[in-house]
Structure 1
Amino acid sequence: MKVYRLTAKQGFPISMEKAWSFLSDPRNLKVITPEHMGFKILSGADRDMYQGQIIQYIVYPFPHIPTKWVTEITHVKEGEYFVDEQRFGPYALWHHKHFIKQIDGGVEMEDIIDYKLPLGILGRLMHPIIVKKQLQNIFNYREKRLNELFGHLEGYQNSITFK
């Protein structure tokens, strides 16, 4: 089964503390997720992020098709990075690393997501037609919303790549 990788980088003219405060709060996922996905946290986001935290969501990847998604925060290094992994949901594998680092003029946020699709060859056929496009749209929206909230770091080239 093929493992895909999405890497997204974005620069902001803010402090590490402000970036960490926003990005490590699961409740802010709703702020940076397209409204049409109907993102709703069901449980697990009522405390500061910690290793072992289980968060349950409902999302609508397709109109009128709710999908329950359960993730676990498996690693946390306060102020620098955290990792969430799907325990139950639409992917055969979802391993999402969130890194924050100081750069000239602000911070760089980097997301690295390794994921596999279910359904074998059918999943692989659906990747370029549906899944990759949907993830591209989600991360384009996220980039736009984060720029609205924190501004764009002058001279920094945001990027989204797939492998």
Structure 2
Amino acid sequence: MKIYTMHTKQKLPITLDQAWLLLSNPKNLKLITPEYIGFNILSGADRPMYAGQLIQYIVTPILGIKTKWVTEITHVVDKSYFVDEQRYGPYALWHHKHFIKEIPGGVEMEDIVDYKVPMGILGQLVHPFLVKPKLNEIFEYRRKKLIELYGEFKG
């Protein structure tokens, strides 16, 4: 069983409060996700984030195949971090930690995703040229979109 890790950091010239408002509202995920992913929240995003919250959505990550994804917010520490874990969806394991901290001139946002692809050895074979590049593309889109929305960090 191979578990992969993706780790990204981004600095933004915004306050901790602004960053938390953006990240802690599940509805904002659509804003920072590429349109072609077809991200559509079905339920669970009707209130601010809390531990135990289940969010159901549809995504179209690869080859136009619509996929239902259910995540649970398992941990939340106000203005510090939260964790979402897939309960149902395209991955055999998805554990995503979101950290934010105040730094001089803004905030640093850090994402650590531990994931396992489905289909055993076949999944591992397609990971380097299908799954990993797609995840990199999604997180790169997010990075650019946040710069577009909030500006480049100059610190």
Task: Name the structure, 1 or 2, with higher relative contact order (CA <8 Å, separation 6+).
Answer: 1
Superposition RMSD on alpha carbons, in Å?
0.7
* 1:150 CA displacement: 1.0
The equivalent residue for 2:20 is 20
Q: SS at 1:45's partner residue?
A: coil
Q: Residues 71-105 of structure 1: CA distance to partner in whole angstroms, max 9, x if unpaired?
A: 00000001110000000000000000000001111
* 1:64 CA displacement: 2.9
Could you tell me the TM-score, scaled by structure 1's length?
0.93
Q: Residues 28-68 of structure 1: CA distance to partner in whole angstroms, max 9, x if unpaired?
A: 01000000010000000000100000000100012431000
Whole-angstrom distance in 1 between the partners of 2:24 and 2:78: 9
Whole-angstrom distance in 2 between the partners of 1:91 and 1:126: 13
Q: Figure out how many residues of one structure are paired with residues of the other and give that number.
A: 155
Q: SS at 2:152's partner residue?
A: coil
Q: Residues 89-148 of structure 1: CA distance to partner in whole angstroms, max 9, x if unpaired?
A: 000000000000011111000000000011110010011010000001001100010001
The equivalent residue for 2:48 is 48
The question of 1:82 aligning with 2:82 is answered yes
* 1:151 CA displacement: 1.1
Could you tell me the percent identity over the aligned residues? 66
Whole-angstrom distance in 2 between the partners of 1:76 and 1:62: 30
The equivalent residue for 1:140 is 140
The equivalent residue for 2:8 is 8
Equivalent residues in 2 for 1:107-126, closer than 5 Å: 107-126=107-126
Letter in 1 for 2:88: F
Whole-angstrom distance in 2 between the partners of 1:126 and 1:31: 28
The equivalent residue for 1:59 is 59
Displaced runs of 4+ in structure 1, greater than 4 A? none
**Structure 1: unaligned runs, 5 residues or longer:** 156-163
Whole-angstrom distance in 1 between the partners of 2:73 and 2:54: 7
**Structure 2: unaligned runs, 5 residues or longer:** none
Q: SS at 2:153's partner residue?
A: coil
Letter in 2 for 1:106: G
